[in-house]
Structure 1
Amino acid sequence: MKYLNFFLLVFFLSTGLSDECAYSEWGPNDEAGNANLISNESVLEALKSVETGKTYSLGLIVDSNTPAYPPRSLELTVVQPFQQFGAGEDLYPNLAANDDIFSGWLGIGSQIDGLGHIGSADGVFYNCNHGKDFAQITGLTKLGIEKIPPLVARGVLIDMASYLNKEFIPAGETLNLLQLKGAMKSKGLTIQKGDVVIFHTGWTAAKFKSAPEEWGSGAPGILPEIAEYLKEKQVIAVGADTWSLDVVPVLDEKEPFPAHPILLTNGIYILEAMNTGEMAEDGVTDFLFILGPAKVRGAVQMIVNPIAIN
């Protein structure tokens, strides 16, 4: 069933839901989406969110055992080039060295979904780009991860678990717009243009280490109405402490992961498997968000470790 769900996901998310396409406000050649909202002025404004100086690592540690949507996996091999059988004694008489070889999918653990990850039902991605024109087996020729500028913005943590008086929100449970607005009101929070919005459900803190198989087989998630609301707010990115952002098991197998195309086709990045537990424990609500993904040309997603500063 897991593999059936995966191939349904690939099919529907490479298709999605779009009727009509309108070019970005930044022009038909834009590939950065709402990251264009970042400016010198917005960064200086975001710095005002720093109060204590405490830093948080939002990335999870990943390895070959990290749960991932099948068939995703990774392997790491450590080697000592040119040093076999003492060869390095002549080549490197003053040192010993290790190198590493990474082989795997870039959408594992804490990750950012680029704008080339998911398109609409007719195969149209952000800014009216057709997948058939830019998705090559050797990499994307448009909307690749390398097009993402440094992401420095005000971050907002919405603690949905606390608002709903739960240690964690269970897999399969949805979050609706009324709950989001209630959680924001309870903390006196507002979402502003250019923000990075991250949901804390408690799912990763509760399950990632203690029950990894359960963590990777389901998740709570936002309803499309929240994605539409955040689209109107013109945020830069939306994330959660879940691997899916959307709810799993999916509500409708004919339309799985519906928040993804709403956000990505409108230039809004998705952050998955964010490690928000410590921030939530500390009662952090807004913070400085910093992320610079590795610039691998043509990549669709990237394993990341965003930094939050309170």
Structure 2
Amino acid sequence: MKPLAILSLGLSLTVLTLGFTPPVQAEREAGVSPWGPQDEIGRLNLITESSRARILSRVRGGRIYDLSVDYYIGMPSWQAAGDPHYRMWMTHTPHGTVIDDPLNVGVPMNEHVSYTGAAISLYTHMGTHIDALNHFGLDGRIWNGFRADEHVGDRGWNVAGAENIPPLIARGVLIDVAAAKNQDMLPDGYRVTRDDLIQALARQDTRLEEGDIVLIRTGRMQVYEDAAAYMNNPPGMGLEAARFLIEEAGAMVVGADNLSFESFPSELKTDYVPVHTYLLAQQGAPILELVYLEALSADRVYEFAFIGGPLKLRGADAAPLRPIAVPVD
């Protein structure tokens, strides 16, 4: 048995003793885009006028599913690398404005016109969000060979930033792995396999198509209100499952209801986040995390129009978004 360091998604780095040694995968390097040397969005190039028209033409009336989560003080978030908590503070309150009179309009006016304002601070990978392709790289290079030492300044990346992500309008597919296993929620640390995905798709009678946004349900969102429980060794994707989605099924974007999409400990000896580097750096496939999938699961909605737009945070490695799912015929 060999001691291996793994990321404890609670707050710290923990050492576990495991009965296996992860393999070394040779010659992993950033991918070169088939869309040309200037490409900054990778597989999002699969969004075209015809692909948008095709899915939107199938939209029907009825329930709209909100796939986003609330932001709140104390919410689950990644802090193992020292990233900040979500914070919100009041800049103006009706009572405080009466006392401070910040606009010099006088007490009677402030008592008549109630003024509330707030500010927030958050890590880019909080809440429902999309990872841009500059989030992880290999050997100093991100997708399409862009080098960090050439493209990262004090104001972020000048390539592949979140502002380049187009509005996401595509066929969405839910793969409900938890339900396929007759479980409310996959066990802590469970690693989703290729076979799990294939079996869930067969159970749902759902097929994948090139250009899909594929969302994996682990059931973890059921404990979202309990940050410690949500972040404690969540289930996630394995590397072979990620390869299946991209190389066999042709997915454009992949996502899940957990943080941080993949499972730990790493399957590779040479990479502590091999699923992230495979998807982002090698394949140019953005990742969605903390996607709310419980309502889709309850109603057994497995195919839908996915519509969402991330904030255009210039130079950023991720951005919050509020996606919706619209059932289709």
For structure 2, the 5+ residue unaligned runs are 1-7, 15-24
Q: Is the 8 A contact 2:187 2:235 kept in 1?
A: yes
Aligned to 2:255: 239
Aligned to 1:115: 133
SS in 2 for 1:112: strand
SS in 2 for 1:227: helix
Q: Is the 8 A contact 1:155 1:195 kept in 2?
A: yes
- Residue by residue over 1:263-302, the C-alpha shift from the partner in whole angstroms, topping out at 9 and shown as x without a partner, is 1121111001111001100000000101111111111111
Cα separation, 2, equivalents of 1:201 and 1:275: 11
> Is 1:98 matched up with 2:107?
no
Aligned to 1:191: 208
Cα separation, 1, equivalents of 2:152 and 2:106: 43
Relative to structure 1, is the Cα distance of residues 96 and 289 closer, same or farther in structure 2, using a 3 angstrom cutoff? same
SS in 2 for 1:88: coil
> Is 1:4 matched up with 2:21?
no
Aligned to 1:124: 141
> Is 1:168 matched up with 2:185?
yes
Which deviates more, 183-192 or 48-57? 48-57
- The root-mean-square deviation of aligned C-alpha atoms, in Å, is 2.4
Q: Is the 8 A contact 1:46 1:154 kept in 2?
A: yes
Identify which of 205, 213, 232 aligns with 1:217.
232
Aligned to 2:324: 307
Relative to structure 1, is the Cα distance of residues 87 and 285 closer, same or farther in structure 2, using a 3 angstrom cutoff? closer
Correspondences of 1:1-310 after superposition (within 5 Å) = 2-4=11-13, 19-70=28-79, 71-72=82-83, 73-80=85-92, 83=97, 85-88=100-103, 90=105, 95-120=113-138, 122-205=139-222, 207-209=223-225, 211-232=226-247, 233-251=249-267, 254-265=270-281, 266-310=283-327
TM-aligned CA deviation for residue 204 of structure 1: 1.1
SS in 1 for 2:105: helix
Relative to structure 1, is the Cα distance of residues 214 and 250 closer, same or farther in structure 2, using a 3 angstrom cutoff? farther
**Amino acid aligned to 2:105:** D
Which deviates more, 220-229 or 271-280? 220-229
TM-aligned CA deviation for residue 21 of structure 1: 4.9
Cα separation, 2, equivalents of 1:87 and 1:119: 47
Relative to structure 1, is the Cα distance of residues 171 and 49 closer, same or farther in structure 2, using a 3 angstrom cutoff? farther
Percent identical: 30
SS in 2 for 1:180: helix
TM-aligned CA deviation for residue 78 of structure 1: 2.0
SS in 2 for 1:226: helix
Relative to structure 1, is the Cα distance of residues 34 and 261 closer, same or farther in structure 2, using a 3 angstrom cutoff? same
TM-score w.r.t. length of structure 2: 0.83
Q: Is the 8 A contact 1:34 1:234 kept in 2?
A: no
**Amino acid aligned to 1:149:** P
SS in 1 for 2:137: coil
Q: Is the 8 A contact 1:21 1:127 kept in 2?
A: yes
Cα separation, 1, equivalents of 2:206 and 2:156: 40
TM-aligned CA deviation for residue 244 of structure 1: 1.2
Relative to structure 1, is the Cα distance of residues 255 and 268 closer, same or farther in structure 2, using a 3 angstrom cutoff? same
For structure 1, the 5+ residue unaligned runs are 6-15
TM-aligned CA deviation for residue 97 of structure 1: 3.0
TM-score w.r.t. length of structure 1: 0.88
**Amino acid aligned to 2:38:** N
SS in 1 for 2:316: coil
Q: Is the 8 A contact 2:71 2:127 kept in 1?
A: yes
